[in-house]
Amino acid sequence: MISEVVPALKTSDTGVQALSWMDIFRISHLPIVNNLEFLGLISDKDIYDLNMAEEAIGNHKLSLFSPYVMMKQHIYEVIEIISRLELTVVPVLDENKHYKGLITLNDLLRTFANLSALKQPGGILELELNVNDYTLTEISQIIEGNDARILSLYVSSPEDSTKMTVTLKVSATDISSIIQTFNRYNYTIKASYMEGDEMEDLMNNRFDAFMKYLSI
């Protein structure tokens, strides 16, 4: 994921150079590096606030913050730090704390899309359940019992809540039978998404069946 095109700044670079690179690469942060030493991140706001566009960055006393990830950290940790600090890039250091490059938000999103099977065809389900009722074994059995498999899964839970949401991407594009099985097991389905007009067709068929029942 390390970018091969976005450069790091040196203390001798000017604010104008920094803003130009930020504009070119559509980012709001750049690392300052001397040789292999990572000094910290500077943002476009820092440059504007200090009115330093024409001067070398090193001429100013900067209160830089220094977030980074290590080479062997997992992508989830990269996502966490970028999200928590609202960064557009995150520097990457090796085990000797030497600067190795940076990861941009756009590259991170592309990698995560591949990791979570977003590009593969399939349906999406959101289940709501009590935290104590969560069992991946049962959920997997329901999916696989309908001739499908889980492509990706993640859970979320609001703070101070006993409820959680399980979001599933499954290999089947028609998930109507999976929905019916989850209903039989008394799962609460918050939302479901199929490709094309399959969900609309399903609801229309159910409506037609209900109207026929009323006319009997």
Does the pLDDT at position 100 exceed 70? yes
DSSP 7: P
**According to the per-residue pLDDT averaged within each range, which of 45-54, 160-169, 206-215 is highest?**
160-169
Q: Domain 15-113 class?
A: alpha beta
The residue that leads in pLDDT, 155 or 141, is: 141
Q: Which residue has the higher pLDDT, 113 or 142?
A: 142
State the Cα–Cα distance between residues 149 and 108, nearest whole angstrom.
26
Per-residue pLDDT band at 180 (split at 50, 70, 90): very high
Q: Which fold has domain 123-215?
A: VC0802-like (3.30.2130)
The predicted pLDDT at position 46 comes to 87
What is the pLDDT at residue 208?
A: 63
Of 14, 21, 25, nearest to 47 (Cα)?
14
List the structure tokens of 80. 């966490």
Write out the residue limits of the CATH 3.10.580.10 domain(s) in the chain. 15-113
Phi, psi torsion values for 43, nearest 5 degrees: -110, 165
Per DSSP, the three-state class of 55 is coil
Of the candidates 117, 182, 197, which has an alpha carbon nearest to the alpha carbon of residue 146? 182
Which regions of the chain carry the CATH code 3.30.2130.10?
123-215
Q: Model's pTM, two decimal places?
A: 0.67
Tokens of 146: 């309908």
The candidate with the shortest Cα–Cα distance to 124, out of 145, 154, 144, 96, is 154
